[in-house]
Amino acid sequence: MKMVIPVSFLLISSVYYISCGKCGCGYFPEPGNWAKVSELPLNGRSEAVSFTIGNFAYLGSGLDSSNGSLGDFWKYDPVKNSWEQVASLPKGAERSSAVGFSVGNTAICGTGFNGSNYLNDFYRYDPVSNSWTKINSAFPGKARSEAVAFGIDSSGYVGTGYDGNNALADFYRYNPSDDSWTSIPFNEVARYSSVVFVFNKKAYLVTGTNGNTLVSEFLVFDPAKTSGNWTPLQSITNASSDAFDDSYTTIMRQNGAVFLIGDKAYISTGEDRGSPYTYTWEYDFAVDLWVEKTPFEGPPVTGAVGISVNNRGFIATGKNQRTVSDFSWEFQPNLVMNPNDN
């Protein structure tokens, strides 16, 4: 990887976006640089899962166009910029379009599709013993793929998805202390291929499709509330008479990737009904607004994973047309685009 040189003072080198919004035409800079980092050593893939434990990120499972559903997992060290293979899912548990999330010092992976069946089983990964153990408690929801999942405090949450026929509108809380699942209300639009991210013990659910159209609804989940846990935020479409949301429709997508850096969230890659996206957007929690950033500089991919680790953000793997990717890219939001580190 070539070194990134911060040249933010060279404004002429930044990328500009032309906006002809409701308040007239103008220019504003789109800062941010994508730098290629160490690629996955073995199979490229799409529809993988990722999670973070401590100072390391983990990526695994997914779909390889040659080998089908995968079960191998890899640990990424952002300091050394290196991947190390860890324990694979048990034989027979290979899958794609699954979910993964961290709770405490372990992680949980489940649901998905194995090429023949939609799945509802879950496995726990322990990095100390480097082993996977099947969770005994049965997931109460339908078998599904393309769901979302997240961990907040000592609980995990899994919901939405696709059961082979329909988009789903349900959510469940997992309690690791007694290995139990509880249904929680979700009276919102059914969806799949969405993304979710957690900030200050709240989860933010956005993008995805209901099977016919892309979803513009943006929701925040607060587990501390005793009722009405899901609250709508500003939708990701051109819904107002003001100029700020003129280009919001390019936030809408399915199979995108999301990560956090500091107090901002970032969405990139994905697709709109087969057309791959490179649009990259930054979400500011403080003001509930999105700002467009430098587009993804790698090949346009869908079904990639977003990785948040050590206050850094990455996108890895994915599929470009018929070709799966083993590439990984880091996004540096405060630098100007540098084409020499690609």
- Taking the C-alpha atoms of residue 251 and residue 260, their distance in angstroms, rounded to an integer, is 16
Q: What are 64-73's pLDDT values in tens digits?
A: 988 899 999 9
Instruction: Return the minimum-mean-pLDDT range out of 11-20, 60-69, 327-336.
Output: 11-20
The token pair at 17 is 């976006």
Q: For the residues 160-173, what does the mean pLDDT come to? A: 98
Backbone φ, ψ for residue 11 (5° rounding): -60, -25
Q: What are 178-218's pLDDT values in tens digits?
A: 999 999 999 999 999 999 999 999 999 999 999 999 999 99
Going from N- to C-terminal start, the domains of the chain cover 11-341
pLDDT value of residue 93:
98
pLDDT value of residue 341:
80
- Taking the C-alpha atoms of residue 127 and residue 51, their distance in angstroms, rounded to an integer, is 12
* Cβ 276 vs Cβ 320: under 8 Å: yes
pLDDT of 99 > 80? The answer is: yes
* Cβ 40 vs Cβ 54: under 8 Å: no
The DSSP call for residue 11 is G
pLDDT value of residue 29:
54
What rounded mean pLDDT belongs to the chain? Answer: 91
* Cβ 234 vs Cβ 284: under 8 Å: no
pLDDT value of residue 18:
34
pTM of the complete model: 0.90
* Cβ 191 vs Cβ 211: under 8 Å: no
The fold of 11-341 is Neuraminidase (2.120.10)
